[in-house]
Chain A
Amino acid sequence: QSALTQPRSVSGSPGQSVTISCTGTTSDVGGYNFVSWYQHHPGKAPKLMIYDVSQRPSGVPDRFSGSKSGNTASLTISGLQAEDEADYYCCSYAGSYSVVFGGGTKLTVL
């Protein structure tokens, strides 16, 4: 199972919006509505931000939103804040009780 494809880095200024893409295949992203996104600050545990493509867990700000079209999922962060600076990983169900992660995207808040 190959890792999902994410841009290595994205950046934006406070208050702006950024979108992180996550491209897979029909065997993972395109085949299931089970894409999740994780925020990871180095040295800490990852945090679930989006599940089921577009659902937010309780406590996650509505500045974070997710979507999917075909084999590509996207995470959009609007109203960027300094604390959003982190690594972001997408993850997709890939069948037979397996998942695959994306390579990760480093978000820099300028």
Chain B
Amino acid sequence: QVQLVQSGAEVKKPEASVKVSCEASGYTFTSYGISWVRQAPGQGLEWMGWISGYNGNRNYAKKFQGRVTMTTDTSTSTAYMELRSLRSDDTAVYFCARWELTTTSFDYWGQGTLVTVSS
């Protein structure tokens, strides 16, 4: 069965960076994309960007351009999301989700990773 397993919770200081991983199993990693979506406390879902599992092509939401980098390791079917220059309002649960390109929908999700930014 399809599974996306994310790395554990992180606590970071302002201006630091965080890198969250998302290990996929149960499907052909290179046949789908991975998107990253976050939810700040009391807020809604926010799309951060997408990376192709096939060729590494990516597109980031304008809000995060310059601060985020998404990568993949096809040898381990793992996607990564690195966010730099962290601020307190980056405190959120970060989800990875499999992006079905033909429908542009997110059909499987990771369990979420809480990133807390605090001095």
Does B50 sit within 8 A of A, measured CB to CB? Answer: yes
Please give the distance in Å from A40's CB to the nearest CB on chain B. Answer: 7
Please give the distance in Å from B3's CB to the nearest CB on chain A. Answer: 11
B95 engages A91 (CB within 8 Å): no
The residue that A101 contacts in the complex, of B46, B50, B57, B104, with Cβ under 8 A, is B46
Residue of B whose beta carbon sits closest to that of A55: B103
Q: Mark B55-72, 1 if CB is under 8 A from A, else 0.
A: 001010110000000000
The residue that B105 contacts in the complex, of A1, A45, A48, A100, with Cβ under 8 A, is A48
Does A24 sit within 8 A of B, measured CB to CB? Answer: no
**In the assembled complex, which residues on chain B have CB atoms less than 8 Å from the CB atom of A32?**
104
Residue of A whose beta carbon sits closest to that of B33: A97
The residue that A104 contacts in the complex, of B37, B45, B100, B111, with Cβ under 8 A, is B45
B105 engages A98 (CB within 8 Å): no
Please give the distance in Å from A35's CB to the nearest CB on chain B. Answer: 9
Knowing A51-B103, A52-B105, A96-B59 touch, does A38 contact B45 (C-beta < 8 A)?
yes
- Contact residue range for chain A? 20 to 34
Knowing A45-B111, A46-B109 touch, does A34 contact B104 (C-beta < 8 A)?
yes
Residue of A whose beta carbon sits closest to that of B111: A45
9 contacts between A and B (CB under 8 A): A38-B106, A45-B95, A51-B105, A57-B107, A91-B47, A93-B104, A96-B59, A98-B47, A102-B44
Residues of chain A whose beta carbon lies under 8 Å from any beta carbon of chain B: 1, 3, 32, 34, 36, 38, 40, 45-48, 51-52, 55, 57, 87, 89, 91, 93, 96-104
Residues of chain B whose beta carbon lies under 8 Å from any beta carbon of chain A: 35, 37, 44-47, 50, 57, 59, 61-62, 95, 97, 100, 103-107, 109-112
Not counting A52-B103, A91-B47, a sample of 10 additional A-B residue pairs whose C-beta atoms are within 8 angstroms of each other reads A45-B112, A48-B106, A51-B103, A89-B44, A91-B45, A91-B106, A98-B61, A101-B44, A103-B44, A104-B45
